[in-house]
């Protein structure tokens, strides 16, 4: 087994002597790459964003932006990282470096003021710049307040004004790519202008060319410092045998939860086991009766590979944290933490999903409705690993996900409600409702489902069921919402669904 190494901006460097819990952020800053900043240490501000070469969905390799503050550097053994400093290219002899197109647009459009957040914005913007399926609109000025000939003399179409879709630019840029980056002083308009002004990568762009090559292969890692160890095995079988021997090990994929505990609570583990690159946990398969989603696929990978095939999941993804988090977070991790306010469990409960639990001695499938047993507790046994999530087919035709939070995006939900209904000839044939944030665990609203099934989809039925839904769970008062507000939002969510499906406003 070779010494752990990482490639940063094209140069290979040993990870030693960093401790196994050392984050990518701290590793980079200790090497003098101080463009990567620490703002929150929780993955909420994006000041630490960097690019990582990962398996692509449309090309062999994608440049993916991740939070460097959450990821242990040992998790990138054998991998490639590009920081804000690595985006610029060398100039002629004696000349300064040539700014990357994203950096150039941020500069000329006033997208940087104090500059603290700028490197993170640039890295997130660069990931979107290199997204292979990003395509400019047919009319670059469609929906803009500017005329077709309004341009900046040096930088092309202004890209400003009110677009028909304010979250997508005329160049195909998706502003959700920046949803995990916060700015406290410049204001977002010039940053948006810069994002909507970037063009497409040139044929000579080295990072664009890199996409056509395979990403780095996962490498087996055994990295030990100060009696603490970081491990990555090549196969699921090896990993399960390891977990049987070390049931105390902390299992990570994207480390979006564990990384917060390391930073904020100073948690340390004697043994951390990474499962994010295990091939057996990264499959997505559709059979005649179910869709199986590998537990280590990131939410971004699932979103792009399903491409709307499961509408309820498609509705969830944009509301799940930020793109930076979704680039690392997994369904296996979200279910494995057992949090009652995780956003995916209510959706998966409404989809009647089950989890496939793998152990060195074999596998078993458990309905998600039976998986949670208490606050952050589940039926998962020591040494057991979530291998996949199975969603049965056919899907219910009427679905909706309602997330009630203080912010529209990148926030923890006060209440989350997911619906999946089968309504035929005006009658509710089947109802599945998943709830989050109203009990010690995510729950199915069984009493409300019973109040709907077999009854006509009418205002009278919905009002009766809404009164039942308000009583589901054991909502509490806390800093996010009061118990009364949570109960009211439960009832309102069903009324909202009724209005959406019928166009009838309840009295």
pLDDT for position 272: 98
pLDDT for position 161: 40
* Spans of all domains in the chain: 233-395, 398-502
Mean pLDDT over 45-49 rounds to 97
Mean pLDDT over 383-409 rounds to 95
Helix (H) or strand (E) holding 498: helix 483-502
Bridge pairing between strands 284-286 and 290-294: antiparallel
Task: Work out the percent of the chain whose per-residue pLDDT is above 70.
Answer: 94
pLDDT for position 142: 42
Asked if residues 401 and 347 have their Cβ atoms less than 8 Å apart, the reply is yes
Mean pLDDT over 44-52 rounds to 97
pLDDT for position 154: 40
Which of 154-168, 248-262, 263-277, 464-478 shows the lowest per-residue confidence on average (mean pLDDT)? 154-168
CATH fold of 398-502 reads Enolase-like; domain 1 (3.30.390)
- Integer angstrom CA distances of residue 27 from 24, 41, 48, 82, 352: 5, 14, 12, 13, 43
Task: Work out the percent of the chain whose per-residue pLDDT is above 90.
Answer: 86
pLDDT for position 128: 98
pLDDT for position 152: 42
Report the distance separating Cα 430 and Cα 447, nearest Å. 13
pLDDT for position 158: 41
Structure-token pair, residue 333: 């991790």
Residue 150, pLDDT > 70, answer no
pLDDT for position 184: 84
Strand order in the sheet with 5-8: 11-14, 5-8, 80-82, 49-55, 61-67
Mean pLDDT over 374-378 rounds to 96
Residue 507, pLDDT > 80, answer no
What predicted TM-score, i.e. pTM, was given to this entire model?
0.92
pLDDT digits (tens, 9 = 90+) for 193-224: 999 999 999 999 999 999 999 999 999 999 99
Q: What is the SS3 assignment for 250?
A: strand
Structure-token pair, residue 295: 């537990």
Burial label for 74, CB within 10 Å (0-12, 13-18, 19+), is buried
pLDDT digits (tens, 9 = 90+) for 103-123: 999 999 999 989 999 999 999
pLDDT for position 151: 38
pLDDT for position 95: 80
Residue 433, pLDDT > 80, answer yes
DSSP code per residue over 398-445 = EEEEEEE-SSSSSS--SEEEEEEEEEETTEEEEEEEEEESSSSS-EE-
Q: What is the SS3 assignment for 163?
A: coil
Cis peptide bond N-terminal to 209, omega within 30 = no
Structure-token pair, residue 159: 């890209």
Q: Which CATH number is 233-395 given?
A: 3.30.465.10
Per-residue pLDDT band for 97 (boundaries 50, 70, 90) equals confident
Cis peptide bond N-terminal to 394, omega within 30 = yes
pLDDT digits (tens, 9 = 90+) for 439-450: 999 999 999 999
């Amino acid at each position: 087994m070779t010494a752990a190494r990482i490639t940063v901006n094209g140069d290979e460097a040993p990870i030693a002597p960093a401790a196994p819990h050392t984050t990518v952020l701290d590793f980079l800053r200790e090497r003098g790459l101080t463009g990567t900043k620490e703002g929150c240490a929780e993955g909420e501000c994006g000041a630490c964003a960097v690019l990582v070469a990962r398996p692509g969905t449309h090309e062999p390799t994608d440049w993916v932006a991740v939070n460097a503050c959450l990821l242990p550097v040992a998790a990138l053994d054998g991998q490639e990282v590009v920081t804000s400093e690595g985006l610029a290219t060398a100039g002629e002899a004696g000349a300064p470096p040539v700014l990357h197109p994203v950096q150039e647009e941020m500069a000329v459009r006033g997208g940087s003021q104090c500059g603290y957040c700028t490197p993170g914005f640039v890295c997130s913007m660069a990931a979107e710049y290199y997204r292979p399926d990003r395509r400019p609109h047919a009319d670059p000025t469609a929906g803009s307040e500017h005329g077709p000939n309004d341009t900046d003399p040096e930088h092309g179409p202004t890209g400003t004004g009110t677009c028909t879709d304010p979250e997508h630019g005329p160049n195909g840029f998706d502003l959700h790519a920046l949803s995990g980056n916060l700015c406290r002083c410049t204001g977002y308009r010039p940053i948006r202008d810069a994002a909507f002004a970037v063009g497409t990568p040139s044929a000579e762009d080295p990072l664009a060319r890199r996409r056509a090559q395979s990403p780095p292969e996962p490498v087996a890692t055994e990295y030990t410092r100060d009696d603490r160890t970081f491990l990555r095995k090549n196969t699921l079988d090896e990993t399960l045998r390891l977990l049987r021997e070390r049931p105390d090990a902390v299992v990570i994929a994207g480390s979006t939860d564990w990384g917060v505990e390391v930073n904020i609570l100073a948690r340390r583990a004697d043994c951390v086991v990474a499962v994010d690159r295990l091939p057996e946990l990264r499959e997505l398969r559709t059979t005649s009766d179910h869709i199986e989603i590998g537990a280590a696929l990131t939410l971004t990978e699932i979103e792009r590979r399903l491409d709307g095939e499961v509408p309820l999941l498609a509705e969830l993804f944009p509301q799940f944290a930020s793109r930076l988090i979704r680039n690392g977070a997994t369904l296996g991790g979200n279910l494995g933490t057992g949090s009652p306010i995780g956003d995916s469990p209510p959706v998966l409960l409404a989809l009647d999903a089950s989890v496939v639990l793998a152990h060195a001695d074999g596998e078993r499938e458990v309905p998600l409705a039976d998986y949670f047993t208490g606050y952050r507790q589940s039926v998962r046994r020591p040494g057991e690993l979530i291998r996949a999530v199975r969603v049965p087919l056919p899907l219910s035709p009427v679905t909706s996900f309602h997330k009630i939070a203080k912010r529209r995006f990148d926030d923890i939900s006060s209440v989350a409600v997911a619906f999946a209904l089968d309504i035929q000839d005006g009658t509710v044939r089947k109802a599945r409702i998943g709830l989050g944030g109203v009990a010690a665990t995510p729950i199915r609203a069984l009493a409300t489902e019973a109040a709907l099934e077999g009854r006509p989809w009418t205002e009278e039925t919905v009002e009766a069921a809404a009164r039942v839904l308000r009583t589901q769970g054991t909502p509490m008062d806390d800093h996010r919402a009061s118990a009364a507000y949570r109960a009211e939002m439960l009832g309102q969510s069903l009324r909202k669904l009724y209005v959406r499906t019928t166009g009838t406003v309840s009295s």
